[in-house]
Every structure is written in C-alpha cells, then in structure tokens.
Chain A
C-alpha cells in the first residue's frame, strides 16, 4: 500500500496559502453581492446569516482534524487547524460586528436587553465571548508560555461548538432542517472522539499510538 500523502514543508506552505484564499471566498462573495445590489431585500439579515453560517462551517472543519487523525492516522492536517480556528473567529467577529453596528448601531441598552431576554442571542454571544481567549492565545509564544494549561484552555472549543449549534437551532422559527445538519456533523465529530477514547480494551491493545500532534508554529 502506498504511504499516505505527507506534504513537504514547501508543499505545506502552498496548501496553507491556497486554503487561506479559499477561506476568504465567503467574504469576497458578500462584497461582490453587495456591489451588485444582490444581498436580498434584507441585506443586514443576509450578511448576518452568511457570516454566522461560515463561522459554524470553519468551526466544524477545525473540529474535524482530530477525528480524521483518529480514523486514518493522517496527522499533517493538524498544521492547518490553527488557521481554520482563526477563520472561525474571523467570521464570528464579522457576524458579531454586524449585529453590533449595522443591526443595532451600538445601542448598548437594546443589545443588553436582546442578549438577556432571547436565549438564542445569549448562547451565541456566550460562544463568541468564549472564543476570544482561544483566538488570543493562538500564537506560538502563548502556546509556549501556557504549556499544559494551553491545552486545557482550548478544550473550550467544545462548549463553543455546542453553543454555536444551539444558537442556530433556537434561531430557526419552524424548519430545523438546516441547523439539524450542524447538529449531526457535530455529533459525529464528537462521537468519534468518544468512541476512540472509550473503545474496548482489546482494540486498545492493538492500536497504534496516536501520531504526534505537531503543535509547532507554522
């Protein structure tokens, strides 16, 4: 059997560049639609929905790296994970900024009331706030400085993911088919982790050690 693909450092840097540009496409699309007056009759709702959706997609991609390694042993994509995670934060930040600025024009009273009284806003806001320390500690210096606490801190990604999906689920009026997709994807991504962790001992004995996580900066 051919050895699984593992990019050289040059290849990896190109993969990263391409991925970076791909991850900017949703934003480019919104700008293009905006310039062509094609953001629907309710442009603010449209760009809020779109940036929220892409934050969720980036989050799901971030969370898929570990299950991929568990199931296939392919470890190198972990080097793309930080970028995915930061793009999740980027789209979540756009999403929140639109809410703050274009939707509510920094009317803090109205925003506070909205967060306190509407559960879907509250869970979305909480997920965003929790993701701030993760974005802030995503550089190599912070990883070195925080050592094992870094790993503990970044376990926050799990509550963030659950709250993010719940935010979408509670937002929907009646037709939950779209948020249901995210519920199922998240269930699979978390399920693989649990299965891998708690699978029967006989399999554990024969299992190869997990390839290194390669937390190096890059």
Chain B
C-alpha cells in the first residue's frame, strides 16, 4: 500500500537544538561574502528568537489545561511567527495583514449557533464551550497548501466532545463550520475576494476523529484575534485552509457542504484537502515544505502523507482515490 505507516514522529528526525545551532554557526563561519554574512546573521537571529517562545502578548492565560504527548520533541514555531504570518482573508490577503488588521476585532462576547440535523438547535456562548470538556494542549504540525508549515501548541477541546454535546441526529453526515463575516470589524470582508462568510466542512467521521480539535488558545493563552479568536477548527492532517476561524455557526447536514475554496477554485482545492505529497497543486509543489522559523538557510523538508498523521487517519480514506478526492 502506498500510504506510509509511520509513527507520529521518529526519534531520529528530531534535531537536537545544539546540532541545529552548530549548523548555523558553521554557515556563518563559512562566510558568503558581504551579503551572505548579512543574510547568515539574519538566520542566526532567527534561531535566537526561537528561544523567546513564551508570548508577551498581554492576552489572557488559560489557567487549566492538560498537556498531551502529541508533538513531543517537535521544535515549536516561535510565538511571534505563529501570530504574525498566516492567511485570514477576512483581515486582508497578505500573510502579514491579519495581525495589524485584526486589532479592533472583538472576540467576546461571542455566541455559536448549533443548527441543522440536531435534536435541538441552540446557541452557546464561548464560555459554555470552554466548559464542555477539559481543555488540552495539542502540539500539531500545521501545513499550509502554499508549501509552508509550522508547529503550534494549540489549546482546545476535542471536536468530538462538542459534537456529542450538540446531539446530531442520525441524518447528519457532514458538519459545516461558518466563520464570522462582519465588514465593520473585518476589513477584508468588504472586498469580494471570496464568497463570505467563509465556509468549511468535514465528513462526520473526520470531525469525530480524536485528532480534530476546536482550538480556543495557543501557547497557553486565549487565541489572538489574527489566529481565529475566539475559536477555530484545527485538523492537523489537512491543509491549513480547512481550519475555519472565528466560527459562529456549526451546522450538521446530510450533504457535502460547498466550502469556500472549493467554490472559488474547484480545480485547485478539494473538499478533503488532505496533506498529500504525491498530489501537486497546480501552483505549489506539495512534496516538500518550508518550516517557518528556520531562517534563510534552513532547507525545505519532506512533506509527509497526511502530514505525518497517517497512523491515526489513513483508515478514514480506505478505498478512496485520493488523486480524485484531493
């Protein structure tokens, strides 16, 4: 079978910090002339910055969450990179736009409506959601369809807990996540770049998979606005765009939802959007990725099938042609 079965992270893949930094020193020592030296020092500073991982954001700390073994040994992407470089088109199409453009966004008070194929539609406050299940820290790789990736310590609850709480009926085959689209607080929504609001969705079994979480925080604090406050979906074996941000509606349906990027470019983006190094995007190579935070001289790394989570999720797609269902 072509789907590789690998443990989550091989011990041999983890670069000890000292070795990692020695390489930088070596690159610096090797010298690349004036420009090279300048660029190398940029790379070095990047690795120094990585040590300053703890955020100084002023955001509220999440007091009670349990650690989990997910992502043990991974080098976390620095907080500053996680929170200054991402796609969130509601705040602009540039990856450095969301941080400055989301300053006026108000993630509280916040309500989430649960609707569609459920025994009883209802509206929950974000505080209710914090109490549905014990919060957990999940360190996950995040792979963007554009070919870059991060390692992010999310805090959230298993989506399965939220779904059980919502009590979907037997007819629910899919779950749809609808994001906030408020032109007053989200300047990107004023331009018709995408069909607002942003819609994402999962098949029910994908949504119930223990890896799927509804994140409410990162680095032990509540989510910054630019990362999808107050709650966002995280599906680590899929491309990042599957993770709807600032979710206001969860709707259970019997039909596959027409998601925003599928509507926008059906030849480029699929409903499943599983990380798959063997199926290229028309624009981007998917066989390798650039890990953010490595600086100028860190080479690309190989992209893993299902972003390295094949053991936990490959069985969801048994018998499916993943080239067709990209």
A40 to chain B, nearest CB (A): 6
* Nearest B residue (CB) for A121: B283
Asked, given contacts A34-B41, A37-B45, A42-B85, whether A110 binds B285 with beta carbons under 8 Å apart, the answer is yes
CA distance A41 to B150 in the complex (A): 10
Contact B38 A34 (CB under 8 A): yes
**CB of A89 within 8 Å of the partner chain:** no
Residues of B within 8 A of A37 (CB): 42, 45-46, 49
- Number of A interface residues at 8 Å Cβ cutoff, please give it: 29
CA distance A10 to B207 in the complex (A): 73
CA distance A175 to B265 in the complex (A): 13
CA distance A174 to B95 in the complex (A): 13
A170 to chain B, nearest CB (A): 7
- Number of B interface residues at 8 Å Cβ cutoff, please give it: 40
Residues of A within 8 A of B297 (CB): 102
Residues of A within 8 A of B39 (CB): 31, 34
Residues of A within 8 A of B296 (CB): 34, 39, 43-44, 47, 102
Contact A39 B282 (CB under 8 A): no
**CB of A214 within 8 Å of the partner chain:** no
Contact B285 A118 (CB under 8 A): yes
A79-119 interface mask toward B, CB cutoff 8 Å, 1 = contact, 0 = none? 00000000000000000000000111100001001100111
Contact A35 B285 (CB under 8 A): no
B132-163 interface mask toward A, CB cutoff 8 Å, 1 = contact, 0 = none? 00000000000000101000000000000000
Residues of B within 8 A of A34 (CB): 38-39, 41-42, 296
CA distance A44 to B85 in the complex (A): 13
B47 to chain A, nearest CB (A): 10
Residues of B within 8 A of A118 (CB): 280, 282-285
A153 to chain B, nearest CB (A): 31
B68-85 interface mask toward A, CB cutoff 8 Å, 1 = contact, 0 = none? 000000000000110011
In the complex, identify which listed stretch (B103-111, B248-256, B286-294, B311-319) lies at the interface while the others stay far away: B286-294
**CB of A173 within 8 Å of the partner chain:** yes
Contact A40 B85 (CB under 8 A): yes
* Nearest A residue (CB) for B293: A41
**CB of B59 within 8 Å of the partner chain:** no
Out of A33, A40, A113, A171, which one reaches B283, CB within 8 Å? A171
**CB of B10 within 8 Å of the partner chain:** no
Out of B194, B284, B290, which one reaches A44, CB within 8 Å? B290
Residues of A within 8 A of B125 (CB): none
Contact B285 A174 (CB under 8 A): no
Contact A113 B193 (CB under 8 A): no
Contact B283 A170 (CB under 8 A): yes
Residues of A within 8 A of B290 (CB): 42, 44-45, 103
**CB of A120 within 8 Å of the partner chain:** yes
CA distance A67 to B34 in the complex (A): 39
CA distance A110 to B38 in the complex (A): 27
**CB of B197 within 8 Å of the partner chain:** no
- Highest count of chain B CB atoms <10 Å: which of A45, A102, A117, A173: A173
* Nearest A residue (CB) for B150: A41
A112 to chain B, nearest CB (A): 12
Residues of B within 8 A of A117 (CB): 280, 285
In the complex, chain A residues 161-216 whose Cβ is within 8 Å of any chain B Cβ: 170-171, 173-175
Residues of A within 8 A of B278 (CB): none
Asked, given contacts A104-B300, A118-B282, whether A40 binds B194 with beta carbons under 8 Å apart, the answer is no
CA distance A120 to B300 in the complex (A): 20
Contact surface of A with B, Cβ cutoff 8 Å: 31, 33-35, 37, 39-45, 47, 102-105, 110, 113-114, 117-120, 170-171, 173-175
Could you jot down 26 A-B contacts, CB within 8 Å? A31-B38, A37-B42, A39-B42, A40-B85, A40-B95, A41-B85, A41-B292, A42-B85, A42-B95, A42-B290, A43-B42, A43-B43, A43-B46, A47-B296, A102-B297, A103-B290, A113-B285, A114-B285, A117-B285, A119-B282, A120-B283, A173-B146, A174-B89, A174-B193, A174-B265, A175-B93
